[in-house]
Structure formats: structure tokens, C-alpha cells
Amino acid sequence: MNYMKKVILSGIQATGNLTLGNYVGALKNFVKMQDEYECYYMIANLHALTVRRTPEELRENTMKIIATYISAGIDPEKSTIFIQSMVPDHAELGWILDCYTYMGELSRMTQFKDKSSKHADNINAGLFTYPVLMAGDILLYGADVVPVGEDQKQHLEITRDIADRFNKLYGDTFKIPEPFIPKTGARIMGLQNPNSKMSKSSTIPNDTIFLVDTPDEITKKIKKAITDSEGIIRYDEENKPGVSNLMSIYGIIKNKQMDEIEKEFEGKNYGVFKEEVAKAIIEELEPFQNKYNELLNNRDYLEKIYTEGSKKAHEKARTTLEEVYKKVGLII
């Protein structure tokens, strides 16, 4: 029964075309979890403001993520899909939680350090307080579980710390959330630089597979992927990061363990292996891409989904926010 279900909240930033990393690390799990949990899936467009882009780009990226969610298998009848900026409670709780978060703990966040070195000309305060807004996203819905990739683990830890701090001061208010990080695929690496994660905003050519890449592009990128000179398909993250990364991608798509893959490709060369990896990705993405292109041409439908979803999300979030306002002494 619905009211017994545990709650899930997760989100993806509206910062560009989604990658195979987003798909494997996050999206695939969003889809899997929707029968068992009450799910809220958000498009984090407020978070996307931390990096400069044109208003048109941000609007378009937001629509693309909604279309991606549905095409990947999130069913709007089962899960609530909403836009962060359409639920004002996020920005409001973000401010309150800012006052319960310390500069010291924020300055330890690796994403902040990463992003500030990548965008040295725009180290804005939003980039610094980003995890606090994210904590608010999660705590507003009383989420039990938050499915994310490995890079978000630290943000979940700070969310738990902020919630716990608030609860100690004002009595039980927030549910303490657990991260859900998949065992394999939580950190898909770049194809050209297998020592750093595959990312939407990577500027290295052929490093990232986008969910909208054509079969030819996918084949070309996989063929060019960095491997090593050993010539053996063997899982060894430390010494063979490129091959191990391709094996993880293949394993997730084909639902195979690493030792099975090693057996399957025993005595075969990297060329043969790469062809199979590319084929697996292309097959996996084909139904997704068909649906995606159809949805992007049906803006009325997308609007209906996010309008209804945001209204539902707002109703739930408001209850939490009002409780917080009362507890801290704000008049509403």
C-alpha cells in the first residue's frame, strides 16, 4: 500500500546532455526502484545555475532531462517527476539550512574543489553552498533512500550531518537518509582519461558517451577508448583502468559479472571486445533514443507531466517546510 512505501528522492542537474555514466550510475536505478518506493525525481535546475549558461540553454536542458527520465523508463503514473524551481520550498529550505551549516565542512567538499579549479573565473557562493541546497532537496521529502553515483556520497554525508544537527537542536524533524550507490557502475570513467569520471561537461574529445550519440559515434568513441598494451581482457582497476571501465559498462548492460566477461573474451583481442561493447551500448540505447526523440517533439505532454509533478511535490514539501519555519521561530 502506498502509505507504507519508503520514499526516494533523487535528481540530475540540468547541465547538458546526459551521459552513459549518468545512465548507469543513477538513472537505471531510478527506474528499478519505482515499484518498491514512493519516488520523487527532480530536475535540479537551481543547482545548474552555479555554472554559467544562457537562459535558452538552461530551459532546453531542463526539457531534455524530463524527456530523458521518461524515455529511460520512469513512469509518470508511478513516480513524481518535477522541476526544482517550480517548488519554491527548495530555495526556502536551502536558506534556512545555510544557517546550520559550517564554512569548514563545506570547504572540505571535493566537488567544490573540483569545480572551482575547472571554473576558476566563476567561483561563486552558490558553488560553495551547493550541498546545502541538495540537503534541502532530500530532507523536504523525508527521503529514506537517495540513489546516486559514487561522486555524490560526500554530499549525502553532509546532508545527514545537517539533518542530525537540526534534529538535536529542535527535536525530531528530518528523516536521516541513506545513500544508494550501485556496486558496479557507480563511477564510470572517461574513455580517454580513465582516471577521472565520465562527465557531461568533459571537454576532452571522445571521452564521454552521450545517451543521444548515434551508433556510428558510439562505435568510434569505443574504438578510440584508451586501453593498455597487455592485450588481455582482465579486470584490474589499478593497472588496467581503461579495459576495466569497458568491462564494467559491458557487465552492467549485459548483466554479467567480471569473471564471466573474462571467460567470454578469453584469447580474444581488444578489437573484438570493443566491437561487442559498442554493440551492447547501441542496443541498450536504441529504444531509449526512439522514445526520446518522440517526446522532445511533444512539448505539451512534457509540460503536463512536470506541471502535475511539481504540484504534487510542492504539497509534500510544504508540510515539511512549515514545520521547520515554526520550529526555528519564523512567522508564516
Residue 185 beta carbon to ligand LTN: minimum distance, rounded to whole angstroms: 15
Pick what 19 binds: ligand ATP, ligand LTN, none; C-beta below 5 to 8 Å, kind-dependent: ligand ATP
Sheet containing strand 38-44, edge to edge, reads 80-83, 38-44, 7-13, 145-147, 178-180
197 is catalytic: yes
Residue 199 beta carbon to ligand LTN: minimum distance, rounded to whole angstroms: 10
| Calpha distance 7→177 (Å, rounded) | 10
Pick what 201 binds: ligand ATP, ligand LTN, none; C-beta below 5 to 8 Å, kind-dependent: ligand ATP
Q: Give the single-character DSSP code of 126.
A: H
Pick what 15 binds: ligand LTN, ligand ATP, none; C-beta below 5 to 8 Å, kind-dependent: ligand ATP
- What is the DSSP annotation of 38-59? EEEEEEEHHHHTTS---HHHHH
Q: Give the single-character DSSP code of 77.
A: T
> b or e along 33-64 (b: 16 or more beta carbons within 10 Å of the residue's beta carbon)?
bbeebbbbbbbbbbbbbbbeeeeeebeebbbb
Residue 130 beta carbon to ligand ATP: minimum distance, rounded to whole angstroms: 10
115 is catalytic: yes
28 is catalytic: no
How far separated are the first and last CA of the chain, in Å rounded? Answer: 34
3-class secondary-structure state, position 33:
helix
Residue 46 beta carbon to ligand ATP: minimum distance, rounded to whole angstroms: 13
Residue 91's contacts (CB-CB under 8 Å, 6 or more residues apart) are: 46, 85, 133
Pick what 186 binds: ligand ATP, ligand LTN, none; C-beta below 5 to 8 Å, kind-dependent: ligand ATP
Cell digits of residue 241: 583502468
Site for ligand LTN in 83-142 (CB under 6 A): 134, 137-138
- Closer by beta carbon to ligand LTN, 155 or else 274: 155
3 state SS for 257-279: CHHHHHHHCCCCCHHHHHHHHHH
Q: How many residues bind ligand LTN (CB under 6 A)?
A: 14
| Stretch of 73-81, 182-190, 242-250, 310-318 lying at the interface with ligand ATP (CB under 6 A) | 182-190
Pick what 71 binds: ligand LTN, ligand ATP, none; C-beta below 5 to 8 Å, kind-dependent: none
Cell digits of residue 317: 514539501
A 10 A CB-CB count for 195 gives 10
Asked whether 317 and 89 are in contact (CB, 8 A), the reply is yes
Pick what 9 binds: ligand LTN, ligand ATP, none; C-beta below 5 to 8 Å, kind-dependent: ligand LTN
**Is there binding between residue 47 and ligand LTN (CB under 6 A)?**
yes
- Closer by beta carbon to ligand LTN, 107 or else 110: 110
Q: Give the single-character DSSP code of 85.
A: G
Asked whether 82 and 70 are in contact (CB, 8 A), the reply is no
- What element of type H or E holds 83? strand 80-83
A 10 A CB-CB count for 157 gives 14
Identified binder of ligand ATP from the candidate list 72, 148, 233, 253, rule CB under 6 A: 148
| Stretch of 92-100, 125-133, 185-193, 257-265 lying at the interface with ligand ATP (CB under 6 A) | 185-193
**Is there binding between residue 81 and ligand LTN (CB under 6 A)?**
no
Identified binder of ligand LTN from the candidate list 44, 67, 181, 321, rule CB under 6 A: 44
Q: Give the single-character DSSP code of 188.
A: P
**Is there binding between residue 26 and ligand ATP (CB under 6 A)?**
yes
Contacts with ligand LTN by CB under 6 A lie at: 9-13, 44, 47, 134, 137-138, 146, 148, 152, 155
For the annotated catalytic residues, the residue numbers are: 115, 197, 200
Which residues lie near ligand ATP (CB under 6 A)?
12-13, 15, 19, 21-22, 24-26, 148-149, 151-152, 186-188, 197-201
